[in-house]
Amino acid sequence: MSYRLLAISLIASCFADCTFGQFESPSYPPGGNVYVADVTRRLLRRSPHWPEGAQYPPVSAREALSLAEIELREMVPASRHWKPTSLELSLLPQEETRWIWQVAYYWDNTPSVGTFLPEYDFLVYVLMDGNVVEPKLSDTRQPWPIPKLREKTETSEAAFRNIVIPSSPPNAKPFDTIITKQMVAKSPSWRDADCQPPISPRRALSEANELIDSLVEPQVGLKRQMSAITLVALHGKKWYWRVEYDWYPTHGGSTGVLPHCYSVILMDGTVVEPQFRKDAEHGSNKK
């Protein structure tokens, strides 16, 4: 093999084994250890596509959640204290049909409202071939000797408070997406026996695209990119879809916070209408 071909082969091999930055978030379980998952291009390229015409990905949301819980039980102690918070569908960079599930958990080991919980979390990545990217023990330790604390709040239907999701699109008024108790009550549950949620992720994405198209005009010098489609847990068996968008410069890099916005789709198909902030000036969030 010539030196040129050898160099090309080595470069291709390194590129295939590179880890994507967007999938490098560490996990912080009890005990002080830090875990990371090496989600490489080689692994993702082996997993099936999710073609645009398909409503559901090759691995269902319920299957991804089940696989993640098995991995969690094997990796960290007292798995009964871990509660799922979200299942995120992320798109492989520079690809249009390769996706990965990111299942997020938080630690809840007390039934007492008003007490403080250690802010532990754990992420599990599930590929579209059903394989789980095994988290690896990092050489680093958690950056705090005593974990950060968050107050445990009531998560029952009776104590539900409005959820406010802020958005700052480019050259447009900032707005909030507000999920109310009444909206959630009318929305169907995602029951344990159901493999798929009531609304497919493809429909959620389609509805979100339509809304954002109506709110934000195409921007010169900026390219809109859908960042993630996420199933977010509420109380009981209630969930909703959240679709996230960012705008990137078409030339050069970005030195500040990217313009971004969210769209929320409930499990009855309702697209939550944005509430524009009255005190915000038009274009004030331009980056």
Whether residues 124 and 170 share a domain: the answer is: no
pLDDT score of 98 more than 60:
yes
> Per-residue confidence at 285, pLDDT binned at 50, 70, 90?
very low
Whether residues 48 and 115 share a domain: the answer is: yes
- Flag whether 72 is in a domain: yes
CA distance 138 to 19: 15
Of the candidates 116, 151, 186, which is a domain's last residue? 151
Backbone angles phi, psi at 177, to 5 degrees: -105, 120
Whether residues 121 and 46 share a domain: the answer is: yes
Which of 93-102, 137-146, 149-158, 173-182 shows the highest mean pLDDT? 173-182
In the chain, beta strands by DSSP E: 33-36, 82-91, 99-107, 116-118, 121-127, 132-133, 136-141, 149-151, 163-167, 175-179, 222-233, 239-249, 260-266, 275-276
Q: What is the CA radius of gyration of the chain?
A: 20
The string of pLDDT tens digits covering residues 8-60 is 333 334 434 554 544 567 776 776 778 888 887 777 778 899 998 899 999 99
- Flag whether 156 is in a domain: no
Supply the pLDDT for residue 13: 43
Whether residues 29 and 138 share a domain: the answer is: yes
The string of pLDDT tens digits covering residues 180-211 is 999 999 999 999 999 999 999 999 999 999 99
Whether residues 168 and 145 share a domain: the answer is: no
Whether residues 141 and 231 share a domain: the answer is: no
pLDDT score of 152 more than 50:
no
**What's the predicted TM-score (pTM) here?**
0.80
Mean pLDDT is lowest, of 109-118, 156-165, 166-175, 191-200, for 109-118
In the three-class reduction of DSSP (H, G, I as helix; E, B as strand; rest coil), residue 261 is classed as: strand
Whether residues 217 and 191 share a domain: the answer is: yes
Backbone angles phi, psi at 58, to 5 degrees: -55, -35
CA of residue 46 relative to chain centroid, distance = 22
pLDDT score of 75 more than 60:
yes
Of the candidates 113, 131, 151, which is a domain's last residue? 151
CA distance 84 to 121: 10
- Flag whether 284 is in a domain: no
CB-based contact 106:81 (threshold 8 Å): no
CB-based contact 98:44 (threshold 8 Å): yes
Q: How many domains does one find in the chain?
A: 2
> What is the arithmetic mean of pLDDT over 165-179?
89
- Flag whether 1 is in a domain: no
DSSP letter, residue 257? P
Q: Please, which residues bridge with residue 166 across strands?
A: 176
Whether residues 142 and 190 share a domain: the answer is: no
- Flag whether 7 is in a domain: no
Supply the pLDDT for residue 201: 96
> Per-residue confidence at 165, pLDDT binned at 50, 70, 90?
very high
Q: Which of 258, 226, 241, 229 is nearest to 95 (CA)?
A: 226
> What is the arithmetic mean of pLDDT over 146-150?
50
DSSP letter, residue 22? G
Of the candidates 96, 126, 151, which is a domain's last residue? 151
Mean pLDDT is lowest, of 68-72, 164-168, 192-196, 219-223, for 219-223
Whether residues 70 and 177 share a domain: the answer is: no
Roughly how many angstroms between the first and final C-alpha of the chain, as a whole number?
Answer: 50
Whether residues 91 and 167 share a domain: the answer is: no
Supply the pLDDT for residue 54: 93
Cβ-Cβ contacts under 8 Å for 110 (sequence gap 6 or more): 117, 152
In the three-class reduction of DSSP (H, G, I as helix; E, B as strand; rest coil), residue 3 is classed as: helix
Instruction: Report the share of the chain in percent with pLDDT over 90.
Output: 38
- Flag whether 287 is in a domain: no
Whether residues 33 and 144 share a domain: the answer is: yes
Whether residues 120 and 237 share a domain: the answer is: no
- Flag whether 137 is in a domain: yes
pLDDT score of 233 more than 50:
yes
> What is the arithmetic mean of pLDDT over 222-230?
90
Supply the pLDDT for residue 241: 97
> What is the arithmetic mean of pLDDT over 218-227?
86
Supply the pLDDT for residue 63: 96
- Flag whether 86 is in a domain: yes
Print the domain residue range for 201: 163-276
